[in-house]
Every structure is written in structure tokens, then in C-alpha cells.
Amino acid sequence: MADETPAPATETPAPSYSLVGQYIRDLSFENPGAPGSVLLGTAAPQFSVGINVGVKKQADDLYAVEINITAKAERDSNVLFNVELSYGGVFRVKNVPENVLPQLLMVECPRMIFPFARHALASTVQLGGFPPLMMEPVDFQALYIQNLRNLQAQQAASSSPAN
């Protein structure tokens, strides 16, 4: 009787991603009315905040994911402050299927670095003489879906024949 050993199964390495490093690529804070703008005003300021995510492939398994945040506060049509932040993380991504990669890079990776970007933004605004700007958590999944829909609408508009 021959001793039979099963052939070793070739295992596919498990998908993984990790944060290699974080950085501030750009930070701009403007306080045009200082020092008067830091004094208490009569009306509550109006805030506008915008956020976007960008991804750039750096090497075979490295991606730079950047969150771009803009925030502006105005009172009585006067700008109190304007801040722009590009905060990024470098991620090593291995064995992730191509159909899952965009969602990983545009949803999960920004979700991982957002608390650090929010802290940098809040600290900068506070150092400018204002209460820290505390942003609510961002639904990066909803932002991703919205951007996909906008892209699809642009593609549909550009591919439709002119009337």
C-alpha cells in the first residue's frame, strides 16, 4: 500500500491594506480681519465646509489618498477665516481585487485618516483665534456614491448627441 499525501493547496494571499504614513501636503489659513475678527460679534457666523477625496498611485502597491477640506466662516458678509487643508495618507494595498479597490481607496482609507485631518483643521482654526472647528464624521460611502453618480451623469451628457 503506497503512502499518499495530498498535493499542497496553493493558497491565495489574503487581501490587506495598511497605512504607511501620513502628511499635510498643503495648509492655508487666512484671517483677513485680524485682530478685529476674533472679537465677539453680534451675530453667529455662517459656516461653509467642503470635502473631497483624491487618489494617486505611487507604485505597484502604494497609493496616496488625500482628503481636501475647505472651510469658511463669515459674519455680516465679512470673512472671519478661510482654511484649506490637503491631508494625506500613503497606503500599501496587497491582493485586493480590482473591483473592490476603488471603494477601498475612496471610502475606507479616507475614513482611517479623517480623524487626524479633522484634528489638524480644528487646531489650526483655534490657533487663528477662534473656537476649534469641530467637523462631524463624514460618510465617505455616500460621498463616493455621489461622485460616481456625478461622473455617470457627466459621461451620459457628453455621449448624448447634440440636438
Amino acid identity at 95: N
C-alpha cell at 111: 475614513
Tell if the pTM clears 0.95, that is, is over it.
no
Phi, psi of 54, rounded to the nearest 5 degrees: -130, 150
pLDDT score of 75: 87
**Dihedral of alpha carbons 100, 57, 21, 18, sign:** positive
Q: CA quadruple 39, 43, 46, 47: dihedral positive or negative?
A: positive
Phi first, then psi: give them for residue 101, nearest 5 degrees.
-55, -50
Q: pLDDT value at position 150?
A: 87
- Contact between 134 and 122 (Cβ < 8 Å): yes
Helix 140-159 to helix 109-127 angle, to the nearest 10 degrees? 110
The residue among 67, 49, 69, 63 whose CA lies nearest residue 21 is 63
**140 vs 73, 81, 109, 145, CA distance in Å?**
23, 26, 9, 9
pLDDT of residue 77: 86
pLDDT tens-digit profile, the chain (163 residues): 555 666 555 677 899 999 999 999 999 999 998 888 777 666 788 999 999 999 999 999 999 999 999 999 998 888 999 999 999 999 999 999 999 999 999 999 999 999 999 999 999 999 999 999 989 999 999 999 998 898 888 888 887 665 5
Q: Which of 143, 125, 136, 134 is nearest to 65 (CA)?
A: 143
**What are the start-end ranges of the H helices in 40-108?**
101-103
